[in-house]
Amino acid sequence: MLPSPSSSPIPISHHVLHERTNVLQECASTPPFKLPTQLPTPPKHSGVKRVLASSRNNGSIKRLKLSHEIEKDHGDEEEEDNGFTPKPTKERRRKPSLWPHDPYQRSIAPTVSTRPILQSFVSSNKSDTFKCESIFTGGFLTPPYACAYSHGAKAGGLPLLAVATEQGSVHLLDTRARQDWDVEPPRKTLQPHSNAIFHVSWSQADDLLATCSGDYYSKISKVSTGQVLHSLRGHSGTVKCAAWSPTNDNLLATGGRDGTVCIWDLRAGENRNAEEPSTVGPVMTIQGAHDASLGRTKHCKPPSVTNILYSGSDFVTTSGSFDGILRTWDLRLLTNKKSFSRGKGKRSAPLHLSPFDPTVADEGKRARGILSLVQGTGATSGLLLALGANSRIHTYSASSLTPLRASYAHKNLRVNGSFYLNMAISPCGRWLANGNGGRDGSCFLYDVADAGRPSAQSGSGIQIRGQSGEVAAADWAESTLATCADDGTVRVWRPDVETYRRCLEAPEEEKWNWTWSLS
């Protein structure tokens, strides 16, 4: 701030400036700088006044078309004496913004970008590749559709990765770093389904696995023995997603292509035979969870429920295949499933829903669905991030479901109409990874730490490629990323600045040993 005219500037010696600023050594001998004590008086538009005077002598006053800068000085006294009256400007009506202020967006100091760290993620061709071999025909590979690291792996423990395949099997992989050509640690294989598995989820205690399959069932398997304990039957279509309650491992929720959300209690199962899995029915259901925004008739199929997240012990948030409107449901207020099926109950209403669709706001075209939804943590706590069918990642406030301005994309990201692409957020909540619907085997990484800032802008991701075919799934451990591709392989990526530098300096030599980022 400049000092007022009544105050005198404090003399500043060149020695003090040199010690406390970035002044070069050779400039230390320059005379001390004196701060100005008064702002200069802005010049008056004398040229305009002369024109006005000449017009008055001719007996007529001409109305001049002045610039925006001169119009601001129409209060000058001399111009008023000459009878000059500037033409009032017309105020343009602005269209109402689709991005209202959200109370979550508070003043957050900008963070240091970690893009160089994301660029340094590399994968060894000799020790970071795992193959998903077919259990029916030896020597052939089967595509993995979903993967998930255990909660212990995300907390820095043993990096145990569950990989679900097209043949209904689940491979438990130990993805610890190995030396070149070391033998893979022993793996365990589970076979809960005879159809493709599209989602796999660990319980909070890491002792149970929930799998969602195209056979309309969800299965609960014990990790230590591989035994299927419970068979969840209630959907009339492919089960797309599952989420465990954060406070009780006996409760979980699922969503399917039939548009229904089912709430399950494993204690309500009928265990007719100790050797066979107990059959469990839903204790609550939400039929047509994302059907309200369509105005569809009863003859149309309801939109699929693509994702489901627990937000607390009594609330779930869902996304659908038709648009970018999210919905939060209060499980304490749901209609009893029996009375609703008999036509005696009312359809359950969501507690909150998004005020507008960000897929329409960005593209200006028809609404697009949400493929994958993750809940922020750490740096992104209080946010939801969603991969849309418009090949863009949108951000929402978790409390109000209001879409935020920040979004992320990459020029090479292709969804291609696939509703089986997954997205994952790192345990620190700063990094995001999503698969690609293209056939080039690419995955994309993003630094989303500033997504909650009011001034956050759209960002571009980093492309890594080391497989072939569609990359359907990805997940993070503490400092490890795993990607699954249609070529039947799982790749593990780790940050390594020194290796990445060698790869850039000698790419022809290192391409036989490593795979690294493209941007």
pLDDT at 35 over 50: no
Confidence band, pLDDT 50/70/90 cuts, at residue 299: low
pLDDT computed for residue 456 by the predictor: 67
Q: State yes or no: pLDDT of 508 exceeds 50.
A: yes
CA distances (Å), 277 to each of 150, 164, 212, 274, 480, in order?
A: 23, 20, 16, 7, 34
291 band by pLDDT with thresholds 50, 70 and 90: confident
- pLDDT, residue 479, reads 86
Question: Rg (Cα) of the chain, in Å, rounded?
Answer: 31
**Residue 220 has what pLDDT?**
97
CB 204 within 8 A of CB 219: no
For residue 274, the model assigns a pLDDT of 65
Does residue 378 surpass a pLDDT of 80?
A: yes
Q: What pLDDT is recorded for position 227?
A: 94
pLDDT in tens, 161-210: 999 999 999 999 999 999 988 889 999 999 999 999 999 999 999 999 99
Q: Is the pLDDT of residue 417 over 50?
A: yes
Q: What is the pLDDT averaged over residues 416-436?
A: 89
Sort residue 306 into left (φ over 0), alpha (ψ -120 to 50) or beta.
Answer: alpha
115-516: CATH topology is: Methylamine Dehydrogenase; Chain H (2.130.10)
The contacts of residue 482 (CB under 8 Å, 6+ apart) are 147, 149, 161, 175, 474, 475, 476, 490, 491, 492, 493
Domain locations in the chain as residue ranges = 1-36, 115-516
472-495 per-position pLDDT tens digit = 999 999 889 999 999 999 999 999
- DSSP E strand boundaries for 245-356: 251-256, 261-265, 278-280, 284-286, 305-310, 315-320, 327-330, 352-353
Q: 460 falls in which pLDDT band (50, 70, 90)?
A: confident
Q: Concatenate the DSSP letters of all residues of 5-25 into one string.
A: TTSPPPP--HHHHHHHS---G
Q: How far apart are the first and last CA of the chain?
A: 43
What was the pLDDT predicted at 104? 47
Instruction: Pick the closest to residue 285 from 266, 312, 251, 261 (CA basis).
Output: 261
Determine the Cα–Cα distance for residues 322 and 418; give it in Å rounded to an integer: 13
**Position 334 pLDDT exceeds 90:** no
Give the H/E segment covering residue 504: helix 497-505
Q: How far apart are CA 69 and CA 42, in angstroms?
A: 12
pLDDT at 82 over 60: no
pLDDT at residue 388 greater than cutoff 50? yes
